[in-house]
């Protein structure tokens, strides 16, 4: 099944509100809008799981996204969604939408490493 693209226009005020709401949920604007229409988007389910794991993770220890998600869950996630989760998490950390996380750089197997800072 191929994906279809839907686009729509919004006012500047609506865009600012959507952007603010998406940032609060640590989501891209397109994923946020899709989540309003299709609440259990597979990406959202796994990304929310990742954010819960990050929140519970101890401070001052480096990690990769793969380190946080259980093996049986990780193995069930399609590769495209894994890559999207990685891009989204990196973007949110870089833009400080997710606080108290530092980007350390690439580790083994070219996976991005992060560290959780003490607040």
pLDDT tens string, the chain, 119 residues long: the values are 577 888 999 999 999 999 998 887 767 788 788 878 875 678 888 998 999 999 999 998 999 999 999 999 999 888 878 888 998 899 889 988 888 999 999 987 889 999 998 87
Is pTM beyond 0.85? Reply is no
Residues near 48 by beta carbon (within 8 Å), at least 6 away in sequence: none
Residue 74 near residue 66 (C-beta atoms within 8 A)? yes
For strand 101-106 and strand 112-116, is the pairing parallel, antiparallel, or unpaired? antiparallel
Rounded Cα distance between 62 and 104, Å, is 8
Domain ranges of the chain: 41-116
Core vs surface per residue 28-45: b (16+ CB within 10 A) or e: beebbbbbeeeeebebbe
């Amino acid at each position: 099944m191929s994906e279809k693209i839907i686009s729509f226009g919004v006012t500047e005020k609506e865009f600012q509100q959507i952007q603010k709401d998406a940032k609060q949920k640590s989501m891209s604007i397109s994923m946020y809008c899709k989540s309003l229409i299709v609440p259990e988007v597979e990406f959202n389910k796994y990304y929310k799981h990742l954010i819960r794991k990050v929140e519970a993770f101890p401070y001052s220890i480096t990690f990769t996204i793969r380190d946080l998600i259980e093996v049986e869950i990780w193995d069930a996630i399609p590769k495209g969604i894994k890559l999207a989760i990685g891009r989204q998490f990196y973007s949110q950390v870089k833009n400080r939408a997710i606080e108290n996380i530092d980007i350390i750089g690439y580790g083994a197997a070219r996976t991005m490493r992060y560290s959780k800072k003490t607040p």
